[in-house]
Structure 1
Amino acid sequence: MGSTEERPSHGRNPRGGRERVEARLAGRLAELRAENGWSLEELARRTEVSRSTLSRLERAEISPTAAMLNRLCAAYRMTMSQLLAEVEAEPPQLVRADRQVMWRDGEAGFTRRSVSPPHPGLRGEIVEGVLRPGADISYDRPPVPGMEQHIWVLEGALEVTAGDGAHEVGAGDCLRFRLWGRTRFRCAGPGPVRYALMVVLP
């Protein structure tokens, strides 16, 4: 899920490691659907993702985009970090920089690093996001309604739209809001934008 031009270059997982994570993610998505007693048709209805795409995801034939994974997390009422934590064998208390899980949506130009030590029961988490120039990602719903987000831009400029409000957040600025509806993240500068995202569940 990435391209050679995406940042950051440090802490990349080996190709074999990414493939193992993606295979475990596919298996966990299939388990979650079975645990909820949903058919592929029912999950397709809840997520507005086609049945054939969901089937291919669960067989690890394709990788989900950021927007697609957000819809699945919303259906299962969990954050992306909680889902990714469930595919880790032994969630540690301390995670070194070179062991932090990185997930890439190469098509959208988005790199996501899970900074917080993973745990499926976590109530708060820190994520690093990098958007390459021109990247523009929209999410049609929050994974957990009412979750609180703090966005601290470390480099570049980020335009964030939450509900009816749009904010341009520059390096050093921090934006806080509760998330109930649609959101949009757009790289607003000529270079990539890197930011820290803190999520607090209600």
Structure 2
Amino acid sequence: MRGDELDVRLADRLAGLRVERGWSLEELAGRTGISRSSLSRLERGEISPTAALLNKLCAVYERTMSRLLAEVESEPPQLVRAPAQAVWRDEQSGFVRRSVSPPHPGLRGELVEGRLRPGADIAYDVPPVAGLEQHIWVLEGAVEITSAGRAHTLRAGDCLRFRVWGPSRFHCPGPEPVRYALFVVLP
């Protein structure tokens, strides 16, 4: 699926989630801290969400980012060939996310490839699902990850395992980009 098609389906799904809950744009704005006008433009597909904005929406809808993105994709097959793996880009932050092993009914884990350009910095206020288990394995470069108030610098080959209960942050100090594998397990 092309990126623009994914953005349109994502906008429709976000609007649908709000309507399913019976929330007005004003109520959703109050729950997320995102302006009503930004939410409206997002749901109409006029803007593409940043990683931080999408994380806030995932938190109020109690979904991981992967789960939300999987909901706008067709049912994934058991074998996911590289060309079929959904790629989502946040140009503003420099984050590229490839759903290597997307969420699947009956499975609690998923595998994501993340890439951050040098200087990229992404902060998440809350986890999309409290207690979400993450295993981050750095494949190339270096990344600083902060969770539970503790900062960790990971380099190629290092793996950080934790459960996300509060704010977290991913920062690529450079000078090279970082590429990592993220294994997510739902609680």
TM-score range, shorter chain: over 0.9
TM (norm. structure 1) is 0.89
- Written as runs of structure 1 = structure 2, the 5 A alignment for 1:11-30 is 17-30=2-15
Contact 2:120 2:171 in 1 (8 A): yes
CA distance in structure 2 between the partners assigned to 1:121 and 1:67 by the alignment: 28
Could you tell me which amino acid in structure 1 is paired with residue 141 of structure 2? G
CA distance in structure 2 between the partners assigned to 1:177 and 1:29 by the alignment: 28
Q: What CA RMSD, in Å, does the superposition of the two structures yield over aligned residues?
A: 1.2
CA distance in structure 1 between the partners assigned to 2:65 and 2:102 by the alignment: 13
Match for residue 161 of structure 1?
146
Match for residue 32 of structure 2?
47
Report SS of the residue matched to 2:101. Answer: coil
Match for residue 4 of structure 1?
none
Report SS of the residue matched to 1:104. Answer: strand
TM (norm. structure 2) is 0.96
Could you tell me which amino acid in structure 2 is paired with residue 109 of structure 1? G
Structure 1 residues 197, 165: CA separation in 2 closer, same or farther (over 3 Å shift)? same
Gap runs ≥5 in structure 1: 1-12
CA distance in structure 2 between the partners assigned to 1:121 and 1:31 by the alignment: 24
Match for residue 133 of structure 2?
148
Contact 2:138 2:157 in 1 (8 A): yes
Report SS of the residue matched to 2:153. Answer: strand
CA distance in structure 2 between the partners assigned to 1:58 and 1:122 by the alignment: 29
Gap runs ≥5 in structure 2: none
Question: How big is the shift at 1:145?
Answer: 0.4
CA distance in structure 2 between the partners assigned to 1:149 and 1:53 by the alignment: 30
In the alignment, is residue 123 of structure 1 matched against residue 108 of structure 2?
Answer: yes
Q: 1:114 aligns with which of 99, 102, 108?
A: 99
Match for residue 175 of structure 1?
160
CA distance in structure 2 between the partners assigned to 1:53 and 1:24 by the alignment: 17
Match for residue 20 of structure 2?
35
Contact 1:86 1:119 in 2 (8 A): no
Match for residue 51 of structure 2?
66
Q: Residues 126-151 of structure 1, C-alpha deviation per residue, up to 9 Å, x if partnerless? A: 11000001111100100000111101
Question: How big is the shift at 1:55?
Answer: 0.4
Match for residue 170 of structure 2?
185
Report SS of the residue matched to 2:180. Answer: strand
Q: Residues 141-184 of structure 1, C-alpha deviation per residue, up to 9 Å, x if partnerless? A: 00000111101000001100002100000100000111000001
